[in-house]
């Protein structure tokens, strides 16, 4: 059995079950037929014996029997016995055993060397106080022959039925496992051609377990393909981001080495230092982004007051805001609590408020608004800074994406990774983040989170 395929094992199991079922049905039919034949023989015996009493009479010491009286009727042999059990008239069938006791209104079964017999006796007492026995003897040879014929038919039919069961089981199993074969072939094609875009695309009953398996497999392929493409894009983006500063460092170092003017060398080294700091920051934020991704896979949910967290983050950034004379405006509903990973939510808030300060204008403002609807918690951070051009809005959360130079000029901290991390954190909590912005007017980042979470602390 271990060397057989699943389809073969299922087919054999199906055929075995069908074989047992067929044997059970045949056994029931055989036993039922035997019982029915026995019942019919009882009825024939009783009717024949009772009809005999209707034809004979015993007015005195003699027995009156009609001339046309038939001692063999309906395959029943009739024997007449006196009151003491002595046979008066009639011939017992050949091989019928002698000396069988008379029992009134009772069916008896006897077996000789060659035959099986059914016997029925009936006693009647006449007005002259003389009694008479009539015995009916029925040979079961016809019944036994019928049973033998039925058994032979069953034995001949059994292999045919088993073969039909095997074929039917194979066809049903083959049809049932066809989707599995499709899944296997698709997987083999993906491995052979290294094509993650292929899908099973199974059509069928949506309640079928194999259909659900195929759908889950397609969803898994979607995630694998997305992750693979993101990894390729990430590698390409990192290479692109590092290529420019590395090229600048090399060119400036070579230029400085070719010059004897200390001022030129100082400027070149300053450029090398700035690009090195930029690369260091980029690597640090890449590491931070990677750690965030791992942390989001095992978040620690706890219930906390979101307004108090906003207060704490604002207080931590107050000094930086004061350097640009930026005023914080807080509209916080202190009744709002949320079940979430407090550390990750804090990181998202720190990033958004830091960006608002970095891109905010002198003597401007930053408004932090926290309120709730029936099912959602809404947190928005608004500034009156440089804003974002419309063509950049749909890409602002993409990894390494940076808006126009006017927005990022002179800002070493901008690597295009911060908002990507914020989006990851919010979406990991079942929320979403959107942005509305107008150039030279300001930007509003809005976070929407569910009030309740499937992850309870």
Q: Quick one: which of 371, 337, 369 has its CA closest to 353?
A: 369
More confident residue, 199 or 441: 441
Residue ranges of alpha helices (H) inside 360-452 are: 390-393, 405-408, 418-428
Distances from the Cα of 421 to the Cαs of 261, 343, 398, 415, 436, in angstroms?
A: 44, 13, 10, 12, 19
Residue 71 and residue 187 in one domain = no
For residue 237, the model assigns a pLDDT of: 67
CB–CB of 330/310 below 8 Å? Answer: yes
Supply the pTM of this predicted model: 0.50
Residue 366 has pLDDT above 80, yes or no: yes
pLDDT over 70 (residue 362): yes
Residues 127-184 have pLDDT tens digits of 766 788 888 988 887 888 888 899 999 889 888 888 888 888 888 888 877 777 778 8
The per-residue pLDDT for 454 is 43
155 in any annotated domain = yes
Last residue of a domain, one of 122, 146, 170: 170
Q: Is the pLDDT at 308 greater than 90, yes or no?
A: yes
Q: Tell me, what's the pLDDT at 402?
A: 64
Mean pLDDT across 288-301? 70
- What is the model's pLDDT at position 144? 82
pLDDT value of residue 437: 94
Instruction: Give the pLDDT confidence score for residue 339 in this predicted structure.
Output: 94
Q: How high is the pLDDT of residue 205? A: 61
Is a pLDDT exceeding 90 seen at residue 188?
Answer: no
Q: What phi, psi does 106 have (nearest 5°)?
A: -135, 135
Domain membership of residue 376 (yes or no) is yes
CA 442/CA 213 separation, integer angstroms: 49
With CA atoms as reference, report the closest residue to 455 among 299, 348, 345.
299
pLDDT tier at 204, thresholds 50, 70, 90: low
Can you tell me the distance from the alpha carbon of 127 to that of 395, in angstroms, rounded to the nearest whole number? 121
- Together in a domain, 15 and 110: yes
For residue 372, give the CATH number of its domain. Answer: 3.30.565.10
> What is the CA 54 to chain-centroid distance, rounded?
76
The pLDDT of residue 407: 46
Please check whether residues 232 and 316 belong to one and the same domain.
no
Domain extent at residue 133: 6-170
Q: Across the chain, what does the average pLDDT equal?
A: 83
The pairs formed by 260-267 with CB atoms below 8 angstroms and a separation of 24 or more are none
Confidence of residue 455 (pLDDT cuts 50, 70, 90): very low
pLDDT band at 212 (very low <50, low <70, confident <90, very high): confident
pLDDT at 296: 63
Same domain for 311 and 200: no
In a domain, 64, yes or no: yes
Q: Is residue 249 part of a domain?
A: no
Domain C-terminal end among 109, 142, 170: 170
- Banded model confidence at residue 412, pLDDT cuts 50, 70, 90: very low
Query: 411 pLDDT band (50/70/90 cuts)?
Result: very low
pLDDT value, residue 24: 92
Please report, for residues 135, 179, 267, 392, 438, the alpha-carbon distance to residue 395 in angstroms, rounded to integers and kept in the order given.
108, 40, 35, 5, 15
Output the pLDDT for position 91: 83
Q: Give 426-446 as a 3 state SS string.
A: HHHCCCEEEEEEECCCEEEEE
Contacts of 449 (CB under 8 A, 6+ apart): 338, 340, 376, 377, 379, 426, 429, 430, 431
Evaluate if residue 4 carries a pLDDT over 90. Answer: no
pLDDT at 303 exceeding the cut of 90: yes
- Among residues 445, 423, 424, 449, which one has the least CA distance to residue 435? 445
Q: Structural domain tally of the chain?
A: 3
Residues 359 and 399 in one domain: yes
């Amino acid at each position: 059995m271990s060397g057989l395929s699943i389809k073969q094992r299922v087919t054999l199991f199906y055929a075995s079950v069908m074989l047992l079922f067929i044997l059970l049905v045949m056994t029931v039919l055989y036993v039922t037929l035997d019982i029915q034949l026995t019942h019919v023989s009882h009825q024939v015996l009783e009717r024949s014996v009772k009809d005999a009493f209707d034809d004979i009479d015993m007015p005195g010491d003699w027995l009156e029997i009609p001339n046309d009286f038939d001692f063999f009727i309906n395959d029943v042999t009739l024997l007449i016995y006196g009151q003491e059990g002595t046979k008066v008239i009639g011939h017992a069938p050949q091989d019928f055993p002698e000396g069988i006791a008379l029992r009134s209104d009772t069916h008896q079964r006897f077996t000789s060397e060659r035959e099986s017999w059914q016997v029925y006796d009936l006693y009647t007492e006449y007005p002259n106080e003389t009694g008479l026995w009539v015995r009916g003897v029925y040979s079961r040879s016809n019944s036994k022959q019928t049973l033998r014929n039925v058994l032979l038919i069953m034995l001949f039919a059994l292999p045919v039925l088993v073969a039909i069961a095997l074929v039917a089981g194979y066809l049903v199993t083959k049809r049932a496992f066809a989707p599995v074969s499709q899944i296997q072939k698709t997987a083999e094609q993906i491995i052979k051609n290294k094509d993650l875009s292929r899908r099973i695309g199974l059509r069928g009953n949506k309640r079928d377990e194999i259909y659900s398996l195929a759908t889950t497999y397609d969803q898994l392929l979607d995630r694998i393909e997305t992750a693979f493409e993101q990894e390729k894009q990430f590698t390409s983006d990192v290479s692109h981001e590092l290529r420019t500063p590395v090229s600048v460092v090399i060119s400036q170092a070579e230029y400085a080495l070719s010059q004897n003017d200390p001022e030129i060398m100082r400027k070149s080294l300053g450029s090398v230092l700035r690009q090195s700091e930029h690369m260091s920051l980029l690597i640090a934020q890449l590491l931070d982004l990677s750690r965030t991704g791992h942390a989001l896979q095992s978040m620690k949910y706890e219930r906390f007051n979101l307004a108090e967290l906003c207060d704490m983050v604002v207080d931590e950034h107050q000094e930086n805001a004061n350097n640009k004379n930026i005023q914080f405006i807080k509209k916080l509903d202190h009744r709002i609590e949320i079940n979430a990973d407090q550390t990750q939510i804090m990181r998202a808030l720190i990033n958004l408020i830091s960006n608002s300060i970095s891109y905010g204008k002198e003597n401007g403002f930053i408004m932090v608004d926290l309120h709730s609807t029936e099912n959602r918690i809404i947190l928005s951070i608004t500034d009156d800074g440089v804003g974002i051009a419309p063509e950049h809005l749909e890409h602002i959360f993409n990894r390494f994406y940076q808006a126009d130079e006017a927005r990022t000029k002179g800002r070493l901290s901008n690597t295009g990774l911060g908002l990507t991390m914020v989006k990851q954190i919010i979406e990991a909590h079942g929320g979403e983040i959107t942005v509305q912005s107008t150039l030279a007017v300001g930007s509003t980042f809005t976070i929407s989170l569910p009030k309740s979470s499937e992850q309870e602390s």
